[in-house]
Amino acid sequence: MTAAPQASAESTAQRRARRATAAPQVATELPAQRRGLRRGSLTKEIIVTESLRLLDEGGTEGFSLPKLGRALGADQTAVYRHFASKDVLVLAIADRLIQEAMDGLEPRDCWVDTLTEMCRRLRETYLAHPAAASMSAYRTTQGPAEIRTVDVIIGAMLGAGFEGGEAARMYRAIGDFALAWAGSEASFLALDQRAQQHDRAAWTQAYLSVSRAEHPNIWQVRTELPEVSDNDIFETLLAVVMAGLRQHAPRPCACHGRATPGPAAALG
């Protein structure tokens, strides 16, 4: 079913002419050139893509349905013809993010590698679209990509030797962990730059100016604290989680606990 007839150009011209003459005597001062969008120029796909672009550029603040409509060159309310409400649009955005993150995810020989890759992918995608992620994290769509990811995770857990209810629990634990972590990092990055910068600076300040007597432990590592990067934190926690999983697992992973090569291997 393709067949997009090109006869629309002429009928568009007809429409324009008609509109010009059909209008009552209301003073038409403007050369009504491009007042409207051609029918069918908006699709769910286009709208979601533009939403993502707007959110990436302007953050959560700059995102509203009126602005989205205008950015598409359409009316403020045009989006409502394709999504019943903003909430439904947000769900579609969530779906797009999951797809983007998990497209092509394949089980690897080592179940730890599989889980590690899943966590890293989700985080990468969320960090690439923090505003979109902060709006749509914790929403679930049961789309094909999501279901497939669930299957891969459970497959890894079964590969680790977990059985039945334990495999189910472990899947939820790791899956929800990945979502929670990526979502919360994205949520922080979705705050306006001022708040973010202020927060980071404030913590550095707080660490460095802490009283030795009152908070001796902070004091002891006060200079190292501001050095820790977000990537450090994520990879550290990921390693901890995977170590814990390996220990719980009835079956060792294929790489026998060798450090998983990853994007943060060079980090201190």
Partner DNA sequence: AGTCATTGTCAATGCCTTTGACAAACTCGA
Partner DNA sequence: TCGAGTTTGTCAAAGGCATTGACAATGACT
The footprint of its own copies (CB under 8 A) covers 87, 137-138, 140, 142, 147-148, 150-152, 154-155, 158, 164-174, 176-177, 179-181, 183-185, 187-188, 191, 195, 199, 202-203, 206, 210, 214-218, 220-221, 224-225, 227-228, 232-233, 236-237, 239-245, 247-248, 268
Member of 49, 53, 71, 82 binding DNA (CB under 7 A): 82
Member of 45, 56, 57, 66 binding DNA (CB under 7 A): 66
d(CA 7, CA 264): 55
Closest to its own copies by CB, 42 or 110: 110
Interface stretch with DNA, choices 60-68, 139-147, 205-213, 252-260 (CB under 7 A): 60-68
Closest to its own copies by CB, 39 or 194: 194
Encoding tokens for residue 101?
A: 């993150």
- The answer to whether the CB of 230 falls within 8 A of the CB of 184 is no
With binding defined as CB under 7 A, does residue 128 bind DNA? no
**Which entry of its own copies, DNA, none binds 42, CB below 5 to 8 A by partner kind?**
DNA
**Which entry of DNA, its own copies, none binds 64, CB below 5 to 8 A by partner kind?**
DNA
With binding defined as CB under 7 A, does residue 77 bind DNA? yes
Closest to DNA by CB, 14 or 197: 14
Region 6-45 residues binding DNA, contact defined as CB under 7 A:
8, 11-12, 14-16, 18-19, 22, 35-42
**Which entry of DNA, its own copies, none binds 86, CB below 5 to 8 A by partner kind?**
DNA
